[in-house]
Structure 1
Amino acid sequence: MRKLIAGLKVSLDGKTEGADGTADWVETWSEEYGLTDRIDACLLGGGMYPGYERYWSAIQADPDTPVWITGAAPSQAELAWARFITRTPHYVLSRTLDSTAWPTTRFLRDFDAVASLKQQPGRDIYLVGGASVTAALMDAGLVDEIRLLAYPLIAGEGRSLFATTARRQGLALQDLRRLPDGRVSMTYAMA
């Protein structure tokens, strides 16, 4: 069975967004979890998908122009991810969204559809986010692994990754690395 692997960038206090609704501490939105070689699909929640599509479509259309979230030109890693996702199927868990600009995007309406996707042949699936869908899929027992990049700051008010998690969940540490810029990379299997 394919694994569903969540990868999220968080502040040290577990926030995925600050009080203003952004994660302004994140300098690049590239895939930094070591997943690209192991995945062949991405899954997002309906709340996150429109901004994700807009962000990456802008980079794909004009790779030299600063992007709206960071205000900076895309990094080399972001350009690589933009190329990767043009050929990678995306699935959006949403009961309301039904249109997309990307021909490789499909909509899933419920957790049973996510469970069925995991049963299909293929590589692992990258759960891009957001925080609410990640917590809900954890509660449903569908997340197999979580990879966090913790930034060295306390965000304070904002959206907590685990604020909507309904049940206690044990984790088994698989990998822990200190990165040169003060971030910490953590990989956990769901226990």
Structure 2
Amino acid sequence: MRKIIVGAFVSLDGVMQAPGGPEEDPIGGFKFGGWVAPLFDEKMGAFIGELFSRPFDLLLGRKTYDIFAAHWPYAAKDDPIGPLFDRINKYVATRNPAFKTSWQNSHLLGADAIAAVKALKSEDGPDLLTQGSTEFLKALFENDLVDEIHVSVFPVILGKGKRLFGDASFPRALTLVESRTSDSGVVMSKYARAGDVTTGSFEFDTPTDAELERRRNLT
């Protein structure tokens, strides 16, 4: 059984669009492409390096796949990520049946991407790691397929933009496995599944008349 691990850079208000550069994803008039670069430091590099140090395959939405395919095969030879991404399998979700992959070891998930992901997840093999892929991530969260989330929260507010979670995410409790902070103020955390969401209450055992009136006014 393979895990699905989400790797994400997000702003404090949850935006994850175009972290890598101004031309990465300007869709919707997004003006802050490249917001990660000024805050990326050695401790962040170590956090990402640990994520990439274990065996994994990539699980990508088509737009992120295009970004990676136009960059990593051409990266400098002293950048270890390029050869690593070349070598591993890359599974791509796309709604375009005519889409053709251009990068070695790339595989389309087909017309029913979620069914294909479930089949991959049930197999033996390396974990499936997502990067970017906001639209595809929403489908993974909605179908309760994510096992771990490795998220780096940057001290910046971006306003409008593509976000990590959608309104239809499957309710799920998480356990904080690890958290650390970079010198630039980025909070890097690892979360794992922890069962169903539990609730409690700070209300009085016997509600006050004011509280009962407040509840009536909600309807």
Query: How does the TM-score come out when normalised to structure 2?
Result: 0.71
- Residue 159 of structure 1: how far off its partner (Å): 1.5
What is the alpha-carbon distance in structure 2 between the residues aligned to residue 23 and residue 49 of structure 1? 17
For 1:51, the equivalent position in structure 2 comes to 67
Give deviations 1:114-145, integer Å, cap 9, x for gaps.
01111222121111231121121011111111
Q: Which of 103, 114, 117 is matched with 2:117 structurally?
A: 114
1:1-191 maps to which residues of 2 (within 5 A)? 1-17=1-17, 20=30, 23-27=33-37, 32=48, 34-59=50-75, 63=76, 79-96=79-96, 98-109=99-110, 110-191=113-194
In 2, Cα distance between equivalents of 1:129 and 1:137: 13
Distance, in Å, in 2 between the alignment partners of 1:56 and 1:41 is 15
User: Matched residues in 1 for 2:178 and 2:100: separation?
Assistant: 38
Provide the secondary structure at the position in 1 that maps to 2:34: coil
- CA distance in 2 between partners of 1:132 and 1:164 (Å): 12
Structure 2 counterpart of 1:188, one-letter code: Y
Richer in helix (by share): 2
Secondary structure (helix, strand or coil) at the match of 2:179 reads strand
How far apart are residue 149 of structure 1 and its match?
Answer: 0.8
Cα displacement (A) at 1:49: 1.4
CA RMSD of aligned residues (A): 2.4
Structure 1 length as normaliser, TM-score? Answer: 0.81
Offset at 1:180? 1.7
Residues 143, 170 of structure 2: 8 Å contact kept: no
Distance 1:22 1:155 in 2: 7
Q: Return the letter of the residue paired with 2:105.
A: T
Q: Compute the displacement of 1:6 (Å).
A: 0.5
- CA 1:149–1:117: 2 relative to 1, 3 Å: same
